Chain A
Amino acid sequence: MTEIFGIPTQALFGQLLIGLINGSFYALLSLGLAVIFGLLNIINFTHGAQYMMGAFCAYFLITKLGIGYWWALVIAPLAVGIVGMVIERLMLARLYKLDHLYGLLLTFGLALIIQGLFRNEYGTSGIPYAMPQELAGGRNLDFMFLPNYRAWVILASIVMCLATWFVIERTQLGSYLRAATENPALVQAFGINVPRMITLTYGFGVALAAFAGVMAAPIYQVNPLMGADLIIVVFAVVVIGGMGSIMGSIVTGFALGLIEGLTKVFYPEASNTVIFIIMAIVLMIKPAGLFGTQR
């Protein structure tokens, strides 16, 4: 068996793959947070719960309606996104004139409610969700074994991230969005319905989280608390990347996933904390984050 730095390549690449998978979820979730923060100036603490709701939605679709993975990948983000838009209209919209911290507190409360309700109903042991038939099995690359489903998750999230980047940075809709981020009053004066845009943006950010949740379901099982600790790591990712740039969130997400994977190989004790340590170092050197601007 070949080795690199005394580590068998199989183990090394295996952990790097897991790192990339985690990185995919970090990227999708921090991207959603960044999109929402850009327009709403709210840090969406409910994001982890909405990620979990996406996974549960896929689980309900298969058990109650017999609808499989591929349709769940479309339906779950739509459904959770609509729930998110209702929350935005009914609750978050009342807070825009207040200190931004109230948005954080409200979404934290919502996360407690949602996670609490699901936990009461389904416990904390996790429910398995079968991966789609088409993606079962894997292929043997020369240096490692690559399960098809994992390759698909990485590919799908890269495509999703780049599509989001393209819409926001390169289309007319995106230009409205960026303009409204800079100066909502002026954009509204040009006849664009900014409140509706805010609602749709929140819905979209939430849908991204739910999309990540559906993709995570076959890997991590469906668990009411699957998003609770993850969201804190994603917060650290957001602090490291800074929320100024869409591409920045994507790159930071994947990079940190990889670093975490590498840490699992070389110094497993620190794999839980390495992202937080990187955050501390980044704060010392560049407080605004790697891609951010102080605001």
Chain B
Amino acid sequence: MSAVQELAAGAASRARGLAHQRIATAVMIAFFALAPLVAYPVFLMKVMCFALFACAFNLLIGYGGLLSFGHAMFLGTAGYASAHAAKVWGFAPEFAILFGTACSALLGLVTGLLAIRRQGIYFAMITLALAQMVYFFYLQAPFTGGEDGIQAVPRGKLFGVLDLDNVWVMYSLVFAVFVGGFLLIHRAVHSPFGQVLKAIRENEPRALSLGYDVNRYKLLAYVLSATLAGLAGATKVLVFELASLTDVHWTMSGEVVLMVLLGGLGTVFGPVVGALIIISMENYLAQIGSWVTVVQGVIFVICVLTFRRGVIGELGRLIGKPL
């Protein structure tokens, strides 16, 4: 096969690949649009928030090869910032979300500059340690309310007219945020930026020798991931009207790793499916109480030992197309 034919074949298979991904995206959007007819809307909103959080995390590990063990700091920071803005400063919900997201983006920039100085295991340890520092900050800072968190955060009226206390309006907002975030990630991954990111993941010295400013790409990916994780956190706070320490604790960072690992590292839909499974598990297994940690640990071990592709990764292998 000549080089041109190879290129053409590659482009064709990529087009086919994108075609079935479009179908899968449509199925997913339809699922979240119709699911509230049969399932509890607050549960689905929680799933969508965590799905966006997991997608943001997956952007970093799946396409940048960077395992962050401190992503809860972005979820929690945006949560506290937007809760404070909405409750104390009386921000409208859209500005509260924007403010929270911006705070996470800023935190992403600061921590990113530090964390990308090391790779692999060190990157994971550094992000974990930085997140722990952020956790202690919120534990002691007076405005977070310590163990109580910020309670009774007002949802307010979106754009001054849409009352978010109506569950369907709230659902529509979360739905729009989730789909928007998902499509943004999809767009970023398939852009030249995403391709360079993949090249860095596969072979960093080579990407460097080709003249790419590797650290700038990594930082950009890190900040983008932090921003979207923040968007998820800010939205989640409006849903539950509560910002608490749970969202910044390291167990939350572990949970998002678990969601993405179970769904499929580096797959497009894996994080969404992983979030759906883990949140459902926590909801329906609530009566087993503290056993949830043990069950999560067991899932970790099984995934790492025998199920490294995850649910969606295995599914994609079954149908022979990346999902």
A interface residues with partner B (beta carbon < 8 Å): 37, 43, 91, 94-95, 98, 100-102, 104-106, 108-117, 119-120, 229, 232-233, 235-236, 238-239, 269, 272-273, 276-277, 279-280, 283-284, 287
* Of B129, B132, B290, B305, the contact of A116 (CB 8 Å cutoff): B290
Please measure, in the bound complex, the distance between the C-alpha atom of A279 and the C-alpha atom of B300, giving whole angstroms: 29
With a cutoff of 8 Å between Cβ atoms, the chain A residues found around residue B294 in the complex are 112-113, 116-117, 120
Complex CA distance for A105 and B255, rounded to whole angstroms = 11
Q: Mark B123-141, 1 if CB is under 8 A from A, else 0.
A: 0111011101100110110
Structural contact, A287 and B67, CB atoms closer than 8 A: no
CA distance A37 to B122 in the complex (A): 11
| Pairwise interchain contact A94-B305, C-beta atoms closer than 8 A | yes
Is the C-beta of B250 less than 8 angstroms from some C-beta in chain A? yes
The reply to whether the CB of B114 lies closer than 8 angstroms to some CB of chain A is yes
B136-A116 in contact (CB<8A): no
Chain A residue at minimum C-beta to C-beta distance from B300: A109
Q: How many Å from the CB of A117 to the closest CB on chain B?
A: 6
Contact A91 B137 (CB under 8 A): no
> CB of B261 within 8 A of chain A?
yes
A276 x B140 contact (CB < 8 A): no
Given B67, B117, B296, B308, which contacts A283 in the complex, CB threshold below 8 Å? B117
The CA of A95 and the CA of B125, in the complex, are separated in Å by 19
**Residues from chain B with Cβ under 8 Å of A108 in the complex:** 254, 257, 300
Task: Find out whether the CB atom of A279 lies under 8 angstroms from the CB atom of B293.
Answer: no
Say whether A105 contacts B132, CB under 8 Å.
no
List CB contacts (< 8 Å) of B288-323 with chain A: 290-291, 293-294, 296-301, 303-305, 308
Q: How many residues of B contact A (CB 8 A)?
A: 38
Known contacts A101-B120, A120-B294; is-contact A239 B129 (Cβ 8 Å):
yes
CB of B13 to closest CB in A, whole Å: 26
B residues 49-69 touching A (CB-CB < 8 Å)? 67, 69
Known: A109-B297, A284-B114. 16 other contacts (CB 8 A): A94-B305, A104-B121, A105-B257, A105-B261, A109-B303, A110-B301, A112-B296, A113-B293, A115-B293, A233-B132, A235-B129, A269-B140, A276-B132, A279-B129, A279-B130, A283-B118
Q: Chain B residues with Cβ under 8 A from A115's Cβ? A: 293
A279 and B304 within 8 A (CB)? no
* Complex contacts, B67 vs chain A, CB 8 Å: 101, 104
Q: A33: nearest residue on chain B (CB-CB)? A: B125
In the bound complex, what is the Cα–Cα distance between A101 and B294 (angstroms)? 21
Q: Within the complex, what minimum Cβ distance (angstroms) separates A214 from chain B? A: 24
* Neighbouring B residues of A287 by C-beta, 8 Å: 117-118
Q: Interface centre among A102, A109, A280, by most B CB within 10 Å?
A: A109
Chain A residues near B114 (CB, 8 Å)? 280, 283-284
CB distance from B281 to the nearest CB of A (A): 14
Tell whether, in the assembled complex, residue A113 and residue B298 are in contact, meaning their CB atoms are under 8 Å apart: yes
- Tell me if A120 and B133 are in contact (CB < 8 A): no
CB B198 to nearest CB in A, in angstroms, measures: 15
What are 11 inter-chain pairs, A to B, with CB distance below 8 A?
Answer: A43-B124, A102-B308, A109-B298, A109-B301, A110-B297, A111-B297, A116-B297, A117-B294, A233-B132, A239-B126, A284-B114
Is A106 a contact partner of B305 (Cβ separation < 8 A)?
Answer: yes
Asked if A238 and B125 sit within 8 Å, CB to CB, the answer is: yes
Q: Are B129 and A232 in contact (CB under 8 A)?
A: yes
Q: How far is the CA of A114 from the CA of B304 in the complex (A)?
A: 17
Name which residue of chain B comes closest to A281, CB basis: B114
Measured between alpha carbons, how far is A7 from B228 in the docked complex, in Å? 47
Asked if A113 and B130 make an inter-chain contact with CB atoms under 8 angstroms apart, the answer reads no
Report the separation of the CA atoms of residues A111 and B304 in the bound assembly, to the nearest whole angstrom.
14
Taken together as a complex, chains A and B put the C-alpha atoms of A187 and B121 apart, in Å, by 25
Residues of B within 8 A of A233 (CB): 129, 132
Instruction: Note all chain A residues with C-beta closer than 8 A to B291.
Output: 116, 120
Give residues of chain B (237-296) contacting chain A, Cβ–Cβ below 8 Å. 250, 254, 257, 261, 290-291, 293-294, 296
Residues of B within 8 A of A229 (CB): 132
Interface core residue of B130, B133, B304, B308 (most chain A CB under 10 Å): B304
Bound form: Cα–Cα A94–B302 in Å: 12
Contact partners of A120 in chain B: CB under 8 A: 290-291, 294
Assuming the contacts A91-B305, A116-B290, A116-B293, asked whether A273 and B136 have C-beta atoms less than 8 A apart, the reply is yes
Given B136, B250, B301, which contacts A106 in the complex, CB threshold below 8 Å? B301
* Chain A positions within 8 Å of B305 at CB level: 91, 94-95, 106
**Complex CA–CA separation, A284 to B257 (angstroms):** 27
Closest to A109 in B: B300
A-side contacts of B308, CB under 8 Å: 98, 102
B118: chain A residues within 8 A (beta carbon):
239, 283, 287
Closest to A236 in B: B129
Q: Are B130 and A276 in contact (CB under 8 A)?
A: yes
Chain B proximity of A87: nearest CB distance (Å): 10
Give chain B nearest CB distance to A38 CB in angstroms.
13
Residue in A104, A111, A269 whose beta carbon sits within 8 Å of that of B124 in the complex? A104
CB of B8, distance to nearest CB on chain A (Å): 33
Name the 5 nearest CB pairs between A and B, nearest first: A109-B300, A112-B297, A113-B297, A276-B133, A116-B293
| A123: nearest chain-B partner, CB-CB | B290
Residues on B with beta carbons closer than 8 Å to the beta carbon of A43: 121, 124-125
A280 and B130 within 8 A (CB): yes
Known contacts A112-B294, A232-B132, A284-B114; is A102 also within 8 Å of B250 by CB? no
Tell me which residues across on chain A come within 8 A of B69, comparing CB atoms: 104
Task: Report yes or no: A272 in contact with B124, Cβ–Cβ below 8 A.
Answer: no
**Separation of A275 and B133 alpha carbons in the complex (Å):** 9
A273 partner, pick from B120, B137, B290, B298, beta carbons under 8 A = B137
